[in-house]
Amino acid sequence: MTEPAVADRPAGERIPAIEAVDVSRTYQLDGVSVEALRGVSLTVQPGDYVALVGPSGSGKSTLMHLLGGLDRPTGGRLVIGGRDVNALAPPEMATLRNETIGFVFQAFHLLPRTSAVENVALPLVYRGVSARQRRERAAAMLGRVGLGHRLDHRPNQMSGGEQQRVAIARALVTEPTVLLADEPTGNLDSVTGAAVLELLEQLNAESGVALVMVTHDQEVAARAHRRITMRDGVVVADSADPRSAHDRPPSVDHGRPATLVPAPSAEPRSASGSGPGHPSGGSGGAAGATGRLPREVERPGGTG
């Protein structure tokens, strides 16, 4: 373990916001293990603006959940805000999320029948902030996202763009070090989406909160300072962010080379009775015939 068990905020520039080393995540589904992530290493520095791209099923969402402390890795080391998540009990994980992470979801996830200001204040409830202070801070945050005039509106009285702004305000009201946005513009039309994106970028630039955004949209991804591309549970490309390249350890800059060993679950399925000439399941060589494997390693600079 590295020594800073608790993050020292004043020295935040030195300590990575999130550090993942060879992180893997395996699910058990009906007795079959599915490897969603197989050895991902990356570092998010305070103030980063990262786009996480990749096809469906590439492990982006799993990685987001891990980076946000909603889930734990089954292998490797994950340090969020200076704390190793493997050493944390569920209540400590909750506190860690509350203090260091802000989430923005594609579907907004606002509480219905609850005013904008109360939605924004929700994370502060779990921090034990008094009701008056919560309202003050939530109202101020709503002002920053341009909704100072809609404090007491409920989600069903607001447009999609406004709802996402409320969700952004809720994510930032705790002054987290990392803002994780999962397809934040996915449910919005292009104009509204662009405005929300601009807001996120502006907040990232102003407050220094690291912005990690999962997106399908290549245009959106192109605006990020750094792009991490995933496929089949590994990072296949990680463009360096020129702004912070000088103080990032080079060893974790790129994902380590993806292995070409196929997952056991990737074997072709053949009806057991009908293939007498095919006595045993294929080994590594047979996997190539499926057309799904092998993966290619995409080098930085290959996109955009």
Partner 1 sequence: MRVAEAWRVALDALRANRLRSALTMLGVIIGVASVVLLVAIGTGTKQKVEQQVEGLGSNLLLVVPGRIEVGNAPVVSPLTLKDVDAVTRVVGDPDRVAVTVASGATARAGARSDFTTVQGVLETTPAVFTRSLARGRYLTGTDVDTSRRVAVLGDSVARALFPDRDPLGQQVALAGVRFRVIGVFAPLGQSLGVDRDDEVHVPVTAAQRLWGTQRVDGIAVKAPDRERIDELGERIVAELNRRHPDTEFSAVTQQQILGVLGDILGVLTGVLAAIAGISLLVGGVGVSNIMLVSVRERTREIGLRKAVGARPRDIGVQFLLEAVLLTTIGGLTGMALGVGTALLVDALSPIPAAITWWSLALAFGVSAVVGIVFGVVPAQRAGRLDPVVALRTE
Q: Closer CB to partner 1, residue 21 or residue 94? A: 94
Question: At its nearest, how many Å lie between partner 1 and the CB of residue 86?
Answer: 17
- Say how many residues make up the chain: 304
**Helix, strand, or coil here: 216?**
coil
Q: CB of residue 135 vs partner 1: minimum separation in angstroms? A: 13
Shortest distance in whole angstroms from residue 131 CB to partner 1: 8
Q: Which is nearer to partner 1, 177 or 239 (CB)?
A: 177
Cα 38 to chain centroid, rounded: 16
Q: How far is the CB of 38 from partner 1 (least distance, A)?
A: 18
Helices (H), the chain: 60-67, 90-100, 116-125, 131-144, 160-172, 190-207, 218-223, 284-287
Q: How far is the CB of 233 from partner 1 (least distance, A)?
A: 16
Structure tokens at 74: 């089954």
Q: 3-class SS at 78?
A: strand
| Of 94 and 151, CB closest to partner 1 | 94
Helix 131-144 × helix 116-125 angle, to 10°: 120
C-beta closer to partner 1: residue 111 or 205: 111
Using alpha carbons, select from 211, 224, 197, 249 the residue that is nearest to residue 303. Answer: 224
C-beta closer to partner 1: residue 60 or 170 = 170
- Tell me whether residue 35 or residue 241 sits nearer to partner 1 (CB atom): 35
What is the contact surface with partner 1 in residues (CB under 8 A)? 65, 68, 70-71, 90-91, 94-95, 97-99, 103, 105, 109, 111, 113-114, 122-123, 125-128, 131, 170, 174
Supply the minimum distance, in Å, between the C-beta of residue 67 and partner 1: 12
Nearer to partner 1, 124 or 200 (CB): 124
Find the helix or strand (DSSP H, E) in which 76 lies: strand 75-80
Residues 45 and 47: their CA atoms lie apart, in Å, by 6
Q: Decide: 121 and 137 in contact? Cβ < 8 Å.
A: yes
- Least distance to partner 1 from the beta carbon of 26, Å? 14
DSSP code for 156: G
**Helix, strand, coil shares, percent, the chain, to 5:** 35, 20, 45
